[in-house]
Amino acid sequence: METPVRIDSRFPNMGTTIFTVMSKLAAECGAVNLSQGFPDFQAEPALFDAMHRHMLAGRNQYAPMAGLPELRQAIVDKVAALYGATYDVESEVTVTAGATQAIFTAIAAFVRPGDEVLVFEPVYDSYVPAIETVGGTAVFAQLKFPDYAPDWEQVKKLISPKTRMIVVNSPHNPTGSLLSAVDLEKLAEMVRGTDIVILSDEVYEHILFDGEQHASLSGHPELAARSIVVSSFGKTYHITGWKIGYVVGPAALMAEFRKVHQFNVFTVHAPSQLAIAEYMQDASRHLGLAAFYQEKRDFFRELMAPTPFRLLPCRGTYFQLASYAGLSELGDRAFAEWLTREVGVAVIPVSVFNADGRDDKVVRFCFAKREETLVAASQRLLKAFVKSA
């Protein structure tokens, strides 16, 4: 349908997210989709049974704007048990429609036109559009290739009187790197005495490997006092399509967050909240996630070992970066599209997470898949790149 309306696009250069693009291409080509970050296996039936039971019991009307008390209490208890942080259940936790909504809402609540927001690149692709939507300017600090560690001296130079927010992400998507306790100390030193708000994306908080411990900003009292911390039930319980997450933060920050939240979402699906609150009572369901995904990571790395891809360190998340330098002269986006069409394995090009498009010839695989899916992908890669396969 044509429209007579003249559209002066606010974002003329903004395209469709790479995750949608690559998943669509994978479907069109019949490729094994290791691009978009979602599991291809089910959550435990107990979670679905709980939601069905609450629906039949009539819990189908609006939940309170901040979230149902049962779920908020479960969140507060979990955060206290894991990080020793005490949040008030009434004023310091809000249930959100997934982490992306939580991130957008936090940025909208605190960033005003002319403000600067410091982000680390490779940067997850929803941050910068959110910043620009509210009139802010993203300032980019580079995570150092190939270990993707922060350069705190660079960060110090980038902070200015215009800096309103710093966004951190650990475990980090797309690189699988982690912030350490030492990193948090350096961050605290740099924001001390300022009005900078920290937005901490911790959606993969339970997916760390080889005995690593998650350094949550909730567990650092000085940083917690100025931070909105985001987590995701979708990532934790294999239910990304439910789109339910949460934020915790000090009451004064949460009050501002809720002013935006109440008018862009208001509330989240009630029976799902009740089901998750019930399901959370067994802590092994989130505490066992690291071992569950480490087994998948190690299995996938073993499958990839005979290929000429160079696997980079993966300390957390369910993503594995791999360098294809020496395999192809194509840029990573063209290589990802070729791999999807011609080899039948869909991946994400990492250059899309760099503001300047810097291309290190690295692609991202998602290993949150059934073993048979990972085997099918590896067989296609072996056939394409290993002559004896």
Strand partners, 197: 165
Mean pLDDT, range 301-314, rounded to an integer: 97
279-306 pLDDT, tens per residue? 999 999 999 999 999 999 999 999 999 9
- Residue 14 pLDDT > 90: no
What gap in Å lies between CA 29 and CA 26, rounded to an integer?
5
The answer to whether 231 touches 169, Cβ cutoff 8 Å, is no
- Residue 185 pLDDT > 70: yes
pLDDT classification of 48: cutoffs 50, 70, 90: very high
Mean pLDDT, range 18-22, rounded to an integer: 91
Pure H helices in 62-125: 69-83, 98-110
Q: What is the CATH number of domain 45-282?
A: 3.40.640.10
Question: For 30, left (φ over 0), alpha (ψ -120 to 50), or beta?
Answer: left
**Mean pLDDT for the chain?**
96
Q: What angle do CA 66, 270, 37 make, to 5 degrees?
A: 90
Q: What is the pLDDT of residue 384?
A: 95
pLDDT classification of 192: cutoffs 50, 70, 90: very high
pLDDT above 90 coverage of the chain, percent: 95
Q: How is the chain split into domains, by residue range?
A: 18-38+288-385, 45-282
Cα–Cα separations (whole angstroms), residue 34 to 148, 336, 369: 22, 11, 8
Closest listed residue to residue 253, CA positions, set 92, 116, 80: 92
Closest listed residue to residue 117, CA positions, set 102, 142, 99, 135: 135
Q: What is the pLDDT of residue 309?
A: 97
Q: What is the pLDDT of residue 388?
A: 53
Mean pLDDT, range 263-269, rounded to an integer: 96
* 59: CB partners within 8 A, 6+ apart: 270, 271, 274
Q: What is the pLDDT of residue 13?
A: 78
The bridge status of strand 197-201 relative to strand 93-96 is unpaired
Strand partners, 320: 365
Closest listed residue to residue 97, CA positions, set 243, 229, 254, 235: 243
Sheet order of strands, 116-121 included: 93-96, 245-248, 227-232, 197-201, 163-169, 116-121, 137-142
What gap in Å lies between CA 107 and CA 167, rounded to an integer?
9
323-372 pLDDT, tens per residue? 999 999 999 999 999 999 999 999 999 999 999 999 999 999 999 999 99
Among the ranges given (1-10, 86-95, 230-239), the one the predictor scored with the smallest mean pLDDT: 1-10
pLDDT classification of 132: cutoffs 50, 70, 90: very high
Cα–Cα separations (whole angstroms), residue 291 to 184, 212, 284: 25, 11, 11
Residue 294 burial by CB count (10 A; 0-12/13-18/19+): exposed, middle or buried?
Answer: middle
Q: Has domain 18-38+288-385 been given CATH number 3.40.50.300? A: no
234-257 pLDDT, tens per residue? 999 999 999 999 999 999 999 999
The answer to whether 273 touches 244, Cβ cutoff 8 Å, is yes
What gap in Å lies between CA 178 and CA 161, rounded to an integer?
28
